[in-house]
Amino acid sequence: MTTETAPQPLSVLSEEEELFRQTVREFAETEIGPYVHEMDVAAEMRPDLIEKFFALGLMGIEVPEQYGGAGGSIFLATLAIEEMARVDASAAIYVDVHNTLVNNALMRWGTDEQKSRYLPRMTTGLLGAFALSEPASGSDAFALEARATQDGDDWLITGRKFWITSGAEAGIFIVFATVDPDKGYKGITAFLVERDFPGLAIGKREKKLGIRASSTVEVILEECRVPAANVLGPVGQGYKISIETLNEGRIGIGAQMIGVAQGALDAATKYIKERHQFGRAIADFQGVQFQVAEMATQLEAARLMVYNAARLKDAGLPFTREAAMAKLFSSETANRIAGQALELFGGYGYSQEYPAEKFFRDAKIGVIYEGTSNMQLQTIAKLHLK
């Protein structure tokens, strides 16, 4: 007879994790909640909220304490993103990109000097953005046309970056450019480019279906001068940096999607208890109950997949396949749940006076950015069959 303790389910949180979750939930409900509709209509995030994200410590969750961060885990970042997306997916993506892409890349690939120079600022007010996509390179992210040429002790970068999340407010960008087109992906290099470097400009802002308050912009580089000290990682290793960074980023998108799904399910559950038809609450009808049960089951499965990927990453174990699975399943689940939630609202679900239509719009991006569903399937199949 064994005396070993059975492992806890992934959805069971430690006291520290539960306290952190509750803190972020309260912040999201009280500080973000009242402005969600206003920001969605205006298609703009309130600057004071971004300042509060930094003040609460949400922008340096994994950053070591020596640089002003919390020294936490990707799992804590996952909880923060989930709880914020439950209230507003636009707010969540600022925290997501800054933590899982920008901070993560700098912590993993930056020199000690780069970390000392930037991370203390990136935990207190310097917002980051990840500039990889271009007009001609989406899923084929490495068909980059941006070029970087050496000029003395500097590099000159010329190119256009599209779909750059948080770009309107960002003060620093991780820009990917090719230093030698003849080398293909082995010529791609990453650069730390500050907003005020000569030659960088912010172009048009996209008008989007969902996550409207999150800025998505074009970044234009015209012989943007970048010091050699701002090359991130070895020259020619940009491909590796972007791939490995996006692997963790997919966990963040998974967290965002389960947050959106939870918000949609919460809103629908509240509504069907209050809405009466044929003399009783809609929630009393078995057909509706079964729909809600299916939604809750799908959401729990998605949550466990996202949590599992985060736990694996924190444990230093392989997680690429699991992250792709989590991103795939959670984004498609969020779309199903948000769509079903809207239908449970009936005609009111189509009205902007109720939250269902916003959750529906916000969910759609999950199957597109940081790797479409087809790209996740390709990754999963490749790793499964190797």
Catalytic machinery residues: 370
Q: Give SS3 for 386.
A: coil
Dihedral sign of CA atoms 37, 39, 45, 49 in order: negative
| CA dist 323 → 60, 75, 226, 334, 336 (Å) | 21, 13, 33, 16, 20
SS3 assignment, position 98? helix
CA–CA distance, 62 with 99 (Å, rounded to integer)? 7
C-alpha to C-alpha distances, 366 to 248, 360, 384, nearest whole angstrom: 15, 11, 23
Contacts of 182 (CB under 8 A, 6+ apart): none
184: left (phi over 0), alpha (psi -120 to 50) or beta: left
Structure tokens at 94: 């600022």
Residues composing the chain: 386
Please provide the distance, in angstroms rounded to a whole number, between the alpha carbons at the two ends of the chain.
38
Q: Give DSSP secondary structure letters for 255-313.
A: HHHHHHHHHHHHHHHHHHHH-EETTEEGGGSHHHHHHHHHHHHHHHHHHHHHHHHHHHH
Virtual torsion, Cα 334, 24, 80, 88, nearest 10 deg: 40
